[in-house]
Structure 1
Amino acid sequence: MNMKKELPCEMVRRDIKELIIERKLTVDTLSRITKINQQWFIDFISQKKDIENISEYDIRFLTDLTSVLKMGIDFDCDSRLKSIIETLIIEYEMDTKTLSLCSGTNEDVMCRFLSNTNLVSTEEKYELAVRIMFIYFVFKFPYYEKY
């Protein structure tokens, strides 16, 4: 069996096309998420441009985004929430007490959830998810440059 190795640029192009066709993301939506010009997406999909036509930062962000959107959707809800909580703790160097105070969650529930998701009821998971996703949104809110 002769399998041709797919180049990174081709993989990203394939992933973007899949997100547009199967997940119904529009070029406008991708542009708003990534801050990459709509025309670049159109040219990239039609193979008029390559991935090297954008900055290294944009390449990294775009490849991470497409990977997460493709694979992350297949994670079960508990794993997804757990990874978001762990990311908040690691990225912002917070302990569970601080994160629970900022998000309005019960620290005991969060700690039980992080140690074993089966130790938390469905109702507790729901409340934890809603509060954590709100704080995640707030923490990820874009920084506005001073004029």
Structure 2
Amino acid sequence: MKRYEYNERDFDTVKKNISIALNKYNIAIESLSRMARVDLDWIKDYLDGKKEIFEENQLNENYLKLEYISTFLSGAISLISPDDRVKGIIEYLMEEYNISYNTISLYADIEKEDIEDFMKDANSISYEKKYRLATTSLFLHFLFKKPDC
């Protein structure tokens, strides 16, 4: 497998993506820090050109986190349809937490077959069922991803 070669333009893209997230979408830099789990001062120093992004010939972990999150926050999220986002959350719940369609259907108060149908064709169920499925899936995801209380 060929290793990806970074160039200066790639690094400019990350700064540009962060700028778009902060300015166009009004993401607070403190929010970006929490989402990416990168120290606020590190982000500010990086944006001011005071931080090296390479450590021992490898990209800094903080930079990699910012690269990932800034791609979505700068607009890529809009490239994924709302239905596909819900499908992704359901797949994540199943893979990561072993949550079944049956469990989700019980919480959403819809039939298991409705979820199966939705996963095959998002337009196969009513908007009301989509809404129940989406809000239930999002809340379950929130509960599982929530840090220790």
Common fold by TM > 0.5: yes
- The 5 Å alignment of 1:67-146 reads 67-69=71-73, 70-101=75-106, 103-106=107-110, 107-143=112-148
Per the alignment, in what secondary structure is the counterpart of residue 50 of structure 1? Answer: coil
2:3 corresponding residue in structure 1? none
- 1:55–1:122 distance in 2 versus 1, CA, 3 Å: same
- Provide, for residues 116-141 of structure 1, a one-character-per-residue CA deviation record: whole Å limited to 9, x for no partner: 11111011111111111100100111
C-alpha RMSD of matched pairs (Å): 2.4
Ranked by relative contact order (alpha carbons within 8 Å, sequence separation 6 or more), the top structure is 2
1:26 corresponding residue in structure 2? 28
The structure 2 residue matched to 1:40, chosen from 35, 39, 42, is: 42
Conserved? CA contact 2:22–2:28, under 8 Å: yes
Could you list the runs of 5+ residues in structure 2 that have no partner in the other structure?
1-6
Distance 2:48 2:36 in 1: 19
> Match of 2:43, as an amino acid?
F
Give the TM-score taking structure 1 as reference length: 0.78
> Match of 2:66, as an amino acid?
L
2:70 corresponding residue in structure 1? 66
> Match of 1:35, as an amino acid?
R
Distance 1:60 1:78 in 2: 28
Give the TM-score taking structure 2 as reference length: 0.77
- 1:72–1:135 distance in 2 versus 1, CA, 3 Å: same
Distance 1:105 1:140 in 2: 22
> Match of 2:82, as an amino acid?
C
User: What is the percentage of aligned positions where both structures have the same residue?
Assistant: 28
Post-superposition offset of 1:6: 4.5
Distance 1:60 1:91 in 2: 22
Q: How many residues align?
A: 138
- 1:93–1:41 distance in 2 versus 1, CA, 3 Å: same
Per the alignment, in what secondary structure is the counterpart of residue 84 of structure 2? Answer: helix
